[in-house]
Amino acid sequence: MQTFSYDQLREFTYTMLRKIGCPEADAKIGTDVLLSADLRGVDSHGVARLSGYVRLWEKGRINATPNVRVSYETPSTAVVDGDSGLGLVVAPFAMKVAIEKAKNVGTGWVSVKNSNHYGIAGYHAMMALEHDMIGISLTNASPLVAPTFSKERLLGTNPISVAIPAKNQPPFVADMATTTAANGKLEILQRKGLDTPTGWVQDKDGQPTTSANGVKDGGALLPLGGDREHGSHKGYALGAIVDIFSAVLSGANYGPWVPPFVAFLDPLPNLVGEGIGHFFGAMRVDAFRPADEFKSHMDNWIERFRSAETTPGNEKVLIPGDPERELEVIRMKEGIPLLDPVVKDLTALGERFGVKF
Amino acid sequence: MQTFSYDQLREFTYTMLRKIGCPEADAKIGTDVLLSADLRGVDSHGVARLSGYVRLWEKGRINATPNVRVSYETPSTAVVDGDSGLGLVVAPFAMKVAIEKAKNVGTGWVSVKNSNHYGIAGYHAMMALEHDMIGISLTNASPLVAPTFSKERLLGTNPISVAIPAKNQPPFVADMATTTAANGKLEILQRKGLDTPTGWVQDKDGQPTTSANGVKDGGALLPLGGDREHGSHKGYALGAIVDIFSAVLSGANYGPWVPPFVAFLDPLPNLVGEGIGHFFGAMRVDAFRPADEFKSHMDNWIERFRSAETTPGNEKVLIPGDPERELEVIRMKEGIPLLDPVVKDLTALGERFGVKF
């Protein structure tokens, strides 16, 4: 484990994105999105993925100079065609379209096709906050999750993020995979040689397992809930809704057809759409009630929940977004720790392109 | 257990709603909403609740002749003031507003204040289907759920329903509480003297319990996920989002201030809003891509998931809405079974108002 400053990682990421041909503005926003994951503690979605994006570019599956554009629209909706661009660039473009529509008619809803992995869902949802809007961000992803009763992997970890502004309190920011646990948590347990709790994974025969290698060995992640008795059909339904909003609405690939993020796996033949899909929403809070009134009540909501009496052994009830925001402050000051394999990977990546890590 | 025909229960419910003063059209739609729960197997939200609504009316907490109206709007949004009307009547009104807005600008989003319990979430979401729209229906509810790490009940079972049209396949209809299990399931276990699985309930001290009486004895239902290790912070975040969209946006009561459904408990003093809140959305699918194209891909999505290879011992992978739709056909033909305490309760209710059950 080594620690790097935010500026070091930003500089390296920006330079690498420029090396593969991204225009300045795209490299800047892409870097910002990627690094926000490292700052907020979603280590699996930050610079650790940089070489993955580069390998997809090398395979011709990511277009570094895309013509990202609105391909269809109504006053409150749009479809954005990402032209195989970096999701890190396509997603902020689409979220801006949603925000502009919300300015005009109260809300804006944008479904995106022909994109790639877009980093952390929360970044895009949070773009709405400075406009006194609620932001919503969904994406589908490579199939790693088995619906309830399915042996096959048919869904991605399909996250849901919702960001809601408050007044004096920090915003409410939920950002969660629709699985019991994200894949990044499995990787941590693998490295430590530990088992998973029940309800996280099934093996390749569709049987529950606590092996942290269960997914790597051909099994699947389980939807939030874990099994039927604990509500996995609800996690499955949520992941399905994310998939449909992101891809069936836009014309992207859905379900098992979502192209894998890893460059060594090829997309399936006979794709049903273009690239991967996202879905964004922006709602002006003053399209419902005066913004100041709304935000004061959000403060009251947050204060009431944060001050609730706790269960034994727990210090306080958290508001969604609290842990990530606290970590962001710490990491901005003290640096971002990267695991040795990540450091090695980035060093090798830099060497290949003549960039010092 | 006795079985009643749909027509018998409809006639009785309609007559009772007329008895408390509902206008004809309101009694008709209210009956339709309530009975759809019985048909679809959500027995806790059907006629079993009728006497509860009547008792709230007797307490002056439900207005049988409300002036339900749009109190604020933009092209894609509205706030509906339910004027303390039956949620069963207020909700379809609000959903219609959302649908009209979607016709005009692509999508419509309506937050509702000053309402009451609205029956099953799915009924209202499904209203969008015949218009080739996606329907969304959320509501908050009496506080019975403890957020992760909270000893206190601060949220309702706050359901999420999303209905999505297909072409030759039946629609995708998710309708789920954001808890591991709905309260109705606890009541079934209580009657049978059985324990609950882990992760459903905590006791009054905030400790996990498997007692089906846990909530009745002052404990709480747990958010989907059950505990932190199994993702309960995600279920908590979902329930919180439902609460905020339904009530902080509209000006209804939120969190622990949501007035209890049972008439023997009074609302808290110093309420933060008016009545309970709902949130509805309608999205025209052809505001994104041609409706026929969308619906054909939904058929493909549904067929692929339904034909997935299953885990051992399970016959098929279900599409959200399958079990409810199948039951609806059966119950329409063979009748609706009611538990003895429900029959007794409805008989007594009828006697009080001179209506034969």
| CATH code of residue A144 | 3.30.1370.60
Collapsed DSSP state (helix, strand, coil) of residue B357:
coil
Are both B234 and B205 inside the same structural domain? Answer: no
| pLDDT, average across residues A90-115 | 98
pLDDT in tens, B291-312: 999 999 999 999 999 999 999 9
Q: Is residue B325 part of a domain?
A: no
Same domain, B176 and B186: no
How far the first Cα of chain A sits from its last, in Å, is: 15
Same domain, residue pair A159 and A265: yes
Q: Is residue A194 part of a domain?
A: yes
Cα gap A68→A76, rounded to integer Å? 19
For the segment A228-243, what is each residue's pLDDT rounded down to a tens digit? Answer: 999 999 999 999 999 9
Q: Are A313 and A207 found together in one domain?
A: no
Residue B66 has pLDDT above 90, yes or no: yes
Read off the pLDDT of residues A253-289 as tens digits, 9 standing for 90 and up. Answer: 999 999 999 999 999 999 999 999 999 999 999 999 9
- Average pLDDT taken over every residue of chain B: 97
Decide: A238 and A224 in contact? Cβ < 8 Å: yes
Residue A184 has pLDDT above 90, yes or no: no
Residues B171 and B94 in one domain: yes
pLDDT for position B93: 98
In this predicted structure, the answer to whether residue A188 has a pLDDT above a threshold of 90 is: no
Residue A72 lies in a domain: yes
Quick one: which of B247, B292, B287 has its CA closest to B101?
Answer: B287
Mean pLDDT of A245-254: 98
Q: Does B162 touch chain A (CB under 8 A)?
A: yes
Residues 6+ apart with CB under 8 A from B90: B66, B68, B80, B82, B112, B115, B116, B118, B278
Q: How confident is the model at residue B102 (pLDDT cuts 50, 70, 90)?
A: very high
We report the CATH number of the domain holding residue B216 as: 3.30.60.50
Q: What pLDDT score does B85 carry?
A: 98
Q: Average model confidence (pLDDT) for chain A?
A: 97
What pLDDT is attached to residue B192? 85
Model pLDDT, residue A38: 97
* pLDDT tens digits along B75-95: 999 999 999 999 999 999 999
Cβ neighbors of B7 (< 8 A, separation 6 or more) are none
Domain-embedded: residue A328: no
Q: Is B312 on the interface with A (CB under 8 A)?
A: yes
Contacts of B226 in chain A (CB under 8 A): 230
Closest approach of A305 to chain B, Cα-based (Å): 7
| Shared domain check, A127 and A2 | no
In the three-class reduction of DSSP (H, G, I as helix; E, B as strand; rest coil), residue B62 is classed as coil
Chains A and B form CB pairs within 8 A to the count of 260
Do B150 and B256 have their domain in common? yes
pLDDT over threshold 90, residue A185: no
Q: Using 50, 70 and 90 to split pLDDT, how confident is the model at B238?
A: very high
A212 and A149 in one domain?
Answer: no
Split into its structural domains, chain A has a count of 3
Are the beta carbons of B317 and A147 separated by less than 8 Å? yes
Q: Tens digit of pLDDT for each residue in B30-47? A: 999 999 999 999 998 999
Give the model's confidence band at B141: pLDDT under 50 very low, under 70 low, under 90 confident, else very high. Answer: very high
Q: Is residue A247 predicted with pLDDT exceeding 90?
A: yes
> Exposed e or buried b for every residue in B152-169, given b needs 16+ CB within 10 A?
bbbbbbbbbbbbbbbeeb
Is A325 a domain residue?
no
- Give the mutation candidate from A76, A185, A189, A296 for the B interface (greatest B CB count, under 10 A): A76
In the prediction, which pLDDT does A314 show?
95
pLDDT at A170: 98
pLDDT tens-digit map of A25-40? 999 999 999 999 999 9
Amino acid at B235: G
Average pLDDT over residues B212-239: 96
Q: Is the pLDDT of residue B188 over 90?
A: no
For the residues A92-116, what does the mean pLDDT come to?
98
**Does some domain include residue A2?**
yes
What pLDDT score does B190 carry?
87
Note whether residue A231 is domain-resident. Answer: yes
pLDDT per residue as tens digits for the range B1-29: 899 999 999 999 999 999 999 999 999 99
3-state secondary structure of B179: strand
Q: Rounded to a whole number, what is the distance in Å from the CA of B266 to chain A's nearest CA? A: 20
Q: Which of chain A's residues have a Cβ under 8 Å away from the Cβ of B285?
A: 249
Q: Which domain holds residue A255?
A: 66-180+226-320
3-class DSSP assignment, residue A37: helix
Q: Give yes or no: residues A241 and A212 share one domain.
A: no
Are A275 and A293 within one domain?
A: yes
Q: What is the mean pLDDT of residues A338-352?
A: 96
Set of chain B residues whose Cβ sits within 8 Å of the Cβ of A317: 147-150
Same domain for B166 and B296, yes or no, is: yes
Per-residue pLDDT tens digits for B247-266: 999 999 999 999 999 999 99
Mean pLDDT of the B102-129 span: 98
CATH of the domain at B39: 1.10.1530.10
With b for 16 or more beta-carbon neighbours within 10 A and e for fewer, the B92-108 pattern comes to: bbbbbbbbebbeebbbb
Q: Is A88 among the domain residues? A: yes
Residue A89 sits in the same domain as residue A153: yes
- ipTM summary value: 0.98
CB contact A307 to B (< 8 Å): no
In this prediction, residue A159 carries a pLDDT of 98
Over residues A101-128, mean pLDDT: 98
